[in-house]
Homo-oligomer: A and B are copies of this chain.
Amino acid sequence: MPRARIKDPLLKLPGYVLRRASAAALAELNQRLARLDLRHADVAMLMLIESSPGITQSQAGHVLAIQRANMVPFVARLEGRGVLQRRQVDRRSQALDLTRRGRMLLVRARRVVAAHEAALLKRVPDRLRPMVLPILMALWNRDRP
């Protein structure tokens, strides 16, 4: 006989469920991206640079909430991989651009991300689906784009 089923007393706490949902989704996404040898943050960066070519390193860090210090090895890795290149915009700022290779990789990465996002949304009942993004944005406290 299996021991009495343990109940998770935290399931009523939105903050807790938010964390668990995020962790699960992130792990899933990273697994999907593994075959492109990418992590979720890489794709976020590529998409951001594509959207704002020539964005500076510090601006990118600001948008993605990556600290200056952590941007250094992060960008260096992507540059070393040949998916982005840095360009001196003045004598302290580095502008970032996708390389041809980066753009091609991004095409594939975007497909993976799209599949992931679709899978996520599909778990939500139809009637609730339109509320997903507004609620997440509100929880993020980022209603103003």
The DSSP consensus for interface residues of chain A is helix
In the bound assembly, the distance between CA atoms of A24 and B65 in angstroms comes to 10
| Cross-chain contact of A21 among B22, B48, B55, B124 (Cβ < 8 A) | B22
Residue contact B133 to A17, C-beta cutoff 8 Å: yes
Residue contact B24 to A141, C-beta cutoff 8 Å: yes
Contacts of A65 in B (CB 8 A): 20, 23
How distant is A9 from chain B, measured CB to nearest CB, in Å? 4
> Would you call A29 an interface residue if the criterion is a C-beta within 8 Å of the partner chain's C-beta atoms?
yes
Interface residues of A (CB under 8 A from B): 3, 6-26, 29, 40, 44, 47-48, 50-52, 55, 59, 62-63, 65, 113, 116-117, 120-121, 123-125, 128, 131-142, 145
